[in-house]
């Protein structure tokens, strides 16, 4: 189970579409890594602060947050908070983070602030999970620059692929400019109902498009996943036997087994969005 300590795997949950399960996945995946006894850090990069409250941190105007980190007013060490899980830590968000987008305009290295700020923590964690806002803004840009790989949560809907054209384009541009090693970790289907024909069709289409990058584990629609944050708990502390908690534990295992032998990690350019886009005959102007 132990992952070699060659620095952490920094995973970012990104999809500019709102409400697709980024935060639910960030919380429950991070909790599942921690429950599997690897030190894990969740960084809440969304001013909505849903991952922060979902892990039970009360609102606190004075607590240091990602905002202070990005503005250079605090060190990563100072912003770390413990959680109910022994091996899970969080760097919380705060609603003032929305101002960072504006305050950092014109700042030097504004896109690599997060990467630079968390560098001193790299030895302490096996996984660092970043939760992003539903926008391709400076906060998401900082997350994509700080990350090793992007995990894209999406729902199995018609036009599912068109919805991520923009994200794949952004990932290509970030590789070209700031983070050449950025990989696509995978695509995980959330709020999934395998019984419907639609889900089956969309899954088949995504499988053709993403191949091995489509996670074998799907996350079912499960009420426990929606309830748990109001108790400030990841699902595995709220109802460990729920299908929701179990599916995230399975997803964590799938990602851990993928990431263990470095030699078997996918090459960064294995998935070429531009080429695949053409194959999928999508509107590239989108």
Compare residues 153 and 186 and give the one whose CB is closer to Mg ion. 153
Residues 6+ apart with CB under 8 A from 246: 240
Instruction: HSE, CB side, 13 Å, CA atoms: give it for residue 102.
Output: 4
Q: Which is nearer to ligand ATP, 8 or 244 (CB)?
A: 244
Instruction: Tell the smallest beta-carbon distance from residue 225 to ligand ATP (Å).
Output: 4
Do the beta carbons of residue 33 and residue 40 sit within 8 Å? yes
b/e per residue, 178-215, with b = 16+ CB within 10 A?
A: bbeebbbbbbbbbbbeeeeeebeebbeebeebbeebbb
State yes or no: residue 222 binds ligand ATP (CB under 6 A).
yes
Chosen from Mg ion, ligand ATP, none, partner binding at 225 (C-beta under 5 to 8 Å by type): ligand ATP
Strands (E) located in 39-177: 40-44, 81-82, 88-91, 127-131, 149-155
Least distance in angstroms from the C-beta of 23 to Mg ion: 3
DSSP E strands in 109-242: the ranges are 127-131, 149-155, 183-190
Among 221, 250, 253, 258, binds ligand ATP (CB under 6 A): 221
Smaller CB separation from ligand ATP, 232 or 266? 232
Residue 19 touches which of ligand ATP, Mg ion, none (Cβ within 5-8 Å per kind): ligand ATP
Among 11, 12, 20, 35, binds ligand ATP (CB under 6 A): 20
Which residues sit at the interface with ligand ATP, rule CB under 6 A? 18-24, 46, 48, 50, 134, 190-191, 219, 221-222, 225-226, 244
């Amino acid at each position: 189970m132990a992952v070699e300590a060659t620095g952490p795997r920094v995973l970012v949950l990104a999809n500019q579409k709102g409400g697709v399960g980024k935060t639910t996945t960030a919380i429950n995946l991070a909790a599942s890594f921690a429950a599997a006894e690897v030190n894990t850090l969740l960084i809440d990069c969304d001013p909505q602060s849903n991952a922060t409250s979902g892990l039970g941190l009360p609102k606190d105007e004075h607590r240091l947050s990602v905002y202070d980190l990005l503005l250079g007013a605090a060190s990563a060490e100072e912003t770390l908070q413990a959680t109910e899980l022994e091996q899970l830590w969080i760097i919380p968000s705060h609603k003032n983070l929305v101002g960072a987008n504006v305050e950092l305009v014109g700042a030097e290295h504004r896109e690599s602030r997060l990467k630079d700020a968390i560098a001193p923590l790299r030895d302490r964690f096996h996984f660092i999970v970043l939760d992003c806002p539903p926008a391709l803004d400076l906060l998401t840009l900082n997350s994509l620059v700080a990350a090793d790989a992007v995990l894209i949560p999406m729902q199995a809907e018609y036009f599912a692929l068109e919805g991520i054209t923009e994200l794949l384009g952004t990932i290509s541009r970030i590789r070209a400019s700031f983070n050449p090693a950025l990989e696509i970790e995978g695509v995980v289907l959330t709020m999934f109902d395998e019984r419907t024909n639609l889900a089956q069709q969309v899954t088949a289409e995504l499988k053709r498009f993403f191949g091995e990058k489509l996670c074998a584990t799907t996350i079912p629609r499960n009420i426990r996943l929606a309830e748990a944050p109001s108790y400030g708990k990841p699902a595995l502390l709220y109802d460990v036997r729920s299908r929701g908690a179990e599916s995230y534990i399975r997803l964590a295992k799938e990602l851990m087994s993928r990431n263990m032998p470095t030699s078997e990690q996918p090459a960064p350019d294995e998935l070429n969005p531009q080429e695949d886009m053409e194959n999928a005959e999508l509107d590239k102007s989108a």
